[in-house]
Amino acid sequence: MKKAGKIFLGIFAGIIIIIAAMYLYVTQSSTIPAYLNIESGEVNVNTGKAIINGEDGMKLKESYIVKTGEAGEASVILYESIVISLDPNTEISISELSKENIEIKQTEGSTWTKFMNILGVNGMSIETPNTVATVRGTNFGVDMFWVYVDEGLVNVKTGNGEENLGAGENAMYDNGTLTKGMLTEEQKQRIIKYKKRQILILQNIRMLELEKKRMIIEKLLNANNLSFEEMPKYLEDIDKGEGDLNKIMQQIPVKIESAEKVLKITEKIREERKRIAELEGIGNVSAA
């Protein structure tokens, strides 16, 4: 690893420890309940009063409807710990937006959801015209006739039946009946694509968290002739497995939400990279 990268690993550890040390300033981290991340193409948001063009970073509220266009890709971020990625021609609405019970309605298209269990969200469900998928921490995909799972447990219900899906399993809806099976090759390839998309989103969420403490972080970086703008480049080394996250965690003297959030998101990025490598049958994988 380059010298600058090694320096930054030490700085990253220092940032986490400093955030923890400044207890009164950073004991808690403000969290956005829901916002929009636009990746490409046209995305519209129906607020109930008007249909407007979605903007990157736009805050979303309960009852808002998000719809992607023919070439649109976007993600809805809930409590900075759940990422719902929308394919083109997909529509979802936020039926309920509380940590105790998040409810999403998906009226068309395909989504992939990563539920990270970071900020105490108890569970969520995604309802389509045919199925209701309920989770408490997992990675899973939903379209109008399929639910499929990469990790964790998903409960799927229809009017006539119910299935519990584990890692590597799917359920197909056909004429009111659920049929349980194993992931298809097409679904595996879709999972790889979704995971690569979501790594970039997780990196953005992490930078958003660091941005909240930019003042103290910049002081530390400037003392080492580095800038805040260089952070994404050097964080790539950490995402690739450089540095011991557990060791950094052990150095934090008290439980600080912001510090834990940054480290847990980094851990999730590493896990996604590792899982992509497993699915592709290779030793490592680029996040881009």
pLDDT tens sequence across 29-73: 578 899 999 999 999 999 999 999 999 999 999 999 999 999 999
Same domain, 150 and 218: no
Same domain, 7 and 52: no
Place of tokens 């403490």: 213
The amino acid occupying position 30 is: S
Nearest Cα to Cα of residue 195 among 102, 107, 87, 113: 113
Same domain, 9 and 129: no
Q: pLDDT by residue (tens digit) across 66-78?
A: 999 999 999 999 9
Same domain, 111 and 245: no
Q: Is 77 exposed, middle or buried (0-12, 13-18, 19+ CB in 10 A)?
A: buried
In whole angstroms, how large is the CA radius of gyration of the chain? 20
pTM, two decimal places: 0.85
Q: Residue 170's beta-bridge partner residues?
A: 148, 181
Q: pLDDT by residue (tens digit) across 82-97?
A: 999 999 999 999 999 9
Q: What are phi and psi of 3, to 5 degrees?
A: -55, -45
**Based on the structure, what is the number of domains in the chain?**
2
Same domain, 107 and 49: yes
Round to whole Å and give the CA distance between 64 and 45.
7
Q: What are phi and psi of 27, to 5 degrees?
A: -55, -40
Q: Tell me the H-state helices in 85-134.
A: none
Question: Which range of residues forms the domain containing residue 225?
Answer: 3-29+214-280
287 occurs within a structural domain: no
In this structure, the dihedral spanned by the alpha carbons of residues 125, 76, 273 and 153, taken in order and rounded to 10 degrees, is: 0
197 occurs within a structural domain: no
Q: Which one has a higher pLDDT value, 243 or 109? A: 109
